[in-house]
Amino acid sequence: MRTRVNIKTGSTEEFFDRLRDHARKLDRGETLRPEITITFEDPAEMLKILTAERIRLLARVKGGSQQISALATELKREVRAVSRDVSLLEKAGLLRTSYQSNPGHGRRKIVESVAREYKLVASL
What would the pLDDT profile of 51-92 be if each residue is shown by its tens digit?
999 999 999 998 888 999 999 999 999 999 999 999 999 998
17-31 pLDDT tens trace: 988 999 999 999 988
52: three-class secondary structure by DSSP? helix
Question: Terminal CA-to-CA distance of the chain, rounded, Å?
Answer: 32
Q: What is the predicted pLDDT for the residue at 2?
A: 60
pTM of the full structure: 0.78
Buried b / exposed e over 29-67, threshold 16 CB at 10 Å, is: eeeeeeeebebbeeeeebeebbeeebeebbebbbeeebe
Q: What is the predicted pLDDT for the residue at 71?
A: 94
CA-to-CA distance for 124 and 122, rounded, in angstroms?
7
CA-to-CA distance for 91 and 86, rounded, in angstroms?
9
